[in-house]
Structure 1
Amino acid sequence: MVKSRMLCGNGVFYPIVGFASCVAFIYLSFGDLWIDMNADLNLSFVERNGTQLIVDGKPFYFNGWNSYWMMDHSVDFSTKHRVRSIFKTGAKMGLTVCRTWAFNDGDYNALQTSPGRFNERVFRALDHVIAEARLHGVRLLLCLVNNLQAYGGKTQYVKWAWEEGVALSSSNDSFFYDPSVRRYFKNYVKTVLTRRNTLTGLEYRDDPTILGWELINEPRCITDKSGDTLQDWIEEMSTFVKSIDPNHLVTVGLEGFYGPKSTKRLTVNPEWWAADVGTDFIRNSKIPTIDFASVHIYPDHWTHNPNFEYKLKFVAKWMISHIEDGDKELKKPVMFTEFGLSTENKDFTPEQRDRFYKVILDIMYKSAVKKKAGAGSLVWQFLVEGMEEFNDDFGIVPWERKSTYKLFTEHSCRLARVQGALPSQIRYLSRLCTQS
């Protein structure tokens, strides 16, 4: 909606609102589009009540996606439009949660260029991502660091400490136990959580657009198979996040493997190695300062069995086991925050991928109907056209394949029938769900 405009002293356009001060309106990508951040979408914080996520006192089951690349693409004007495009598409599909990176350490377009030093231009790009999510009624699960080397990750933190002569070890697993590295990471976390968004005026910790914080993407600590090192790190960092931001939910970012002391390590884990990577789904997720459990689903990367029907059976067993854990062991919600089927499988077909997605979405729907702990699922990953260099063997442009698009939109409609449509969904679902 176009608003009348005036120019404030700092060179940013704002609407005339009858107040002495300017109320934030944002110019994002196109000169004819202006966004009122205080308009109709009054999002509430997502809360937890036992095994259920709650919004405005009602159950919240979500259908969503991953687009890790959004902050990076928001930095440059030539790619910034992709952020709006993917949020607009997600909203039209009835999707309500997106997971993305809130980190880039020492890499191209780095947010944190060195310990405690931040690139304001990139921070404004993250501001933009959060503002766009708010505009489209999509909540964000923001990840704070990578276990992998992409975008810096724990390896970059250890490298910084090594270069400054304060590191205990050059092993990237020292990220979890080195006091200097822990201090670097805590400083980063505090800076992000207390950041005041230049577009909305809200500190991140006060913004309900953010569903929650993910401590680390796919943590593994293979130098301590007992899991004690990672457990200590999770306890310390989740407590630290909560001390700064009591408003938002916190999760670990686990793949979901059962640890060496778990009775399920042999019967549910994809293969024997999964119990020896230093994680334990039950133990890590039981920590009081962890609000919900996170699980990933990648059978073709985790198993040596190439049979597709075997993979589908694994997915069902994997998901049902973790949902049961949420209900009985953890008493917390469980989110499947990444799932995908690789195009690099020798027998891959798009029809297989649709079947794979359908198994996952059907289990999530049944969990919602029965009010079980399965809170939601986030497909890996959504892209827009022209992003081939950012694609991996899992990415999809959601509108390019009609059957895939329909799977996700129908799931949005099913969940809306269970819990009722959110205010941000109504304008899309009223039309979308009459067609499904």
Structure 2
Amino acid sequence: MKRIFFLALASAIFLASCGSVKDVENRPAPITIKDGIFYKGSEPYYFVGANYWYGPLIGARNIGDRERLIKELDLMKSHGIDNLRILVGAEGGTQDFQVKPALQPKQGEYNDDLLDGLDFLLAEMAKRDMYAVLYLNNNWIWSGGMSAYLEWNGYGEVANPFLEKYSWEDYFQYTQQFHTCTPCREAFMDHVKFIIGRTNEYTGLKYTDDTTIMSWQVANEPRIFTEEDREPFRDWLAEVVDLLDQLDPNTLVSTGAEGKASYLQDLNEFESLHSSPKIDYLTAHMWPKNWGWYDIEDEKGSLQVSINNAYDYINEHVEVAQKLNKPIVLSEFGFPREKESLALSASVENRDEFYQALFQKLKESYENKGQLAGANFWGFGGFARTDQKRGKWEIGDDFSGDPPQEPQGLNTVFAQDESTLQLIKKYNEIINPEAVQK
């Protein structure tokens, strides 16, 4: 594997000695991989982190809310949350149930305010010794993603599954065309080059030199939709991973996959795709409600079913990680409040119990220097104010952990959810004590 610990550390020391970048000495230590586990400097790195997809939006100078951003970063840091999974930016922004404004409103055209927001977010994270996992595309329509590239390149109206005239099957059939759309793939590769080639306006650091960026992630939940999509998907994924490795060989690369759920429930496909030496670690996601494990009509009974199924899903993916000798991160998992209520007053007791079960699994891995290295809950909403009755996100509303296609507050951990935050802090104090701000 190309990211051997001592080589990366030597590179970091060399860069620091050059003194050519004004903020070099304030960068976090690089995250590297040795013997199948993450290292921060000379110590193993395990973490409970968060999904914070909207960070660049509230970090923007003009349309953002930097006061809120600073408060949320400080709150997360105080609970040891030092690993944030972040959307680089949305595409299109023309569909209902979609992130607005978009970083790329039209193909190849960029919103400079949102680029500034990404720079500002990374600069503030660096001050707090935090790490970003940046995903560059999205399988799902909520941020535009692959479907936006198809619409831009003449594939007709996006089959938006949140509109009555389209089904999810329609959306799947539409979106899988991205893998065989040459101009779409080329445009996305140009986007990758543009983002990775950027220099942060606040730190003066090239993104490729910024150790705040722990990993480039190909996309959010890229998937094989049908048997006929297998080969085009494999070809596309290899193309993107090759480019990431070429453009930034010193930053880790991950896919953003849900696990076998991204590959027609085929664990062998998951293993095969992640065996590439240019993919540095594995990812899996966990959605008990969406996957039919959790039933609000039998919350206690289905909670235990959810935990049992989660353990089985984790175990089989960890076995793959062990075979490939690579770390694996549970980079998404979400759980609703009692009765799927959007009210902040609703109980989070079941959520906390599910979270604790997953954190316990991570703690055991930490104690045994195992491959399961991290868990990013979905998602952190901090000080967002949501309409607890309407649910639907509208322009002008605060961004929260739930993206616009979901009821706002459904899976979000807010600043007021003290029991959940204390649970996160408790486990970070065990597995990632340096990250907990005293």
Secondary structure of the corresponding residue to residue 368 of structure 1: helix
Deviation at 1:127, TM superposition (A): 0.5
Instruction: Indicate which of 222, 225, 243 corresponds to 2:225.
Output: 222
Alignment of 1:20-99 (within 5 A): 37=23, 41-75=26-60, 76=62, 79-99=65-85
The Cα offsets for residues 162-182 of structure 1, whole Å up to 9 and x where unpaired, read as: 179xxxxx9321212211111
Pick closer, same or farther for the CA change 1:308–1:239 going to 2, 3 Å.
same
- Name the CA distance, whole Å, in 2 between partners of 1:117 and 1:203: 21
Secondary structure of the corresponding residue to residue 289 of structure 2: helix
Q: Contact 2:224–2:262 (CA<8 Å) still a contact in 1?
A: no
2:310 is matched with: 315
2:143 is matched with: 151
2:89 is matched with: 103
2:14 is matched with: none
Q: Which has the larger radius of gyration?
A: 1
The Cα offsets for residues 141-183 of structure 1, whole Å up to 9 and x where unpaired, read as: 001011001121100001111179xxxxx93212122111110
Deviation at 1:104, TM superposition (A): 1.4
Secondary structure of the corresponding residue to residue 82 of structure 1: helix
The alignment of Structure 1 onto Structure 2 pairs a total of residues equal to 370
The amino acid that maps onto 2:56 is: M
Alignment of 1:332-351 (within 5 A): 332-343=326-337, 345=339, 349-351=347-349
Deviation at 1:343, TM superposition (A): 3.4
Secondary structure of the corresponding residue to residue 88 of structure 1: helix
Alignment of 1:14-413 (within 5 A): 37=23, 41-75=26-60, 76=62, 79-107=65-93, 108-162=100-154, 171-224=174-227, 227-257=230-260, 274-275=264-265, 280-303=269-292, 306=295, 307-327=302-322, 329-343=323-337, 345=339, 349-388=347-386, 389=393, 390=400, 391-397=408-414, 399-413=415-429
- What is the root-mean-square deviation in Å for CA atoms of aligned residues? 2.7
- Name the CA distance, whole Å, in 2 between partners of 1:89 and 1:83: 10
Deviation at 1:196, TM superposition (A): 0.6
Pick closer, same or farther for the CA change 1:22–1:140 going to 2, 3 Å.
closer
Deviation at 1:281, TM superposition (A): 2.1
TM-score by length of 1: 0.79
Same amino acid, percent of matched pairs: 24
- Give unmatched runs, 5+ long, in structure 2: 1-18, 94-99, 157-172, 296-301, 387-392, 394-399, 401-407
- Give unmatched runs, 5+ long, in structure 1: 1-20, 25-36, 165-169, 261-273, 432-436
Secondary structure of the corresponding residue to residue 143 of structure 2: coil
Deviation at 1:215, TM superposition (A): 0.3
The Cα offsets for residues 232-268 of structure 1, whole Å up to 9 and x where unpaired, read as: 21111001111000011011111112688xxxxxxxx
TM-score by length of 2: 0.78
Q: Which has the higher contact order (CA 8 A, sep 6+)?
A: 2
The amino acid that maps onto 2:325 is: K
The Cα offsets for residues 402-425 of structure 1, whole Å up to 9 and x where unpaired, read as: 321221111111113xxxx44xx3
Deviation at 1:350, TM superposition (A): 1.2
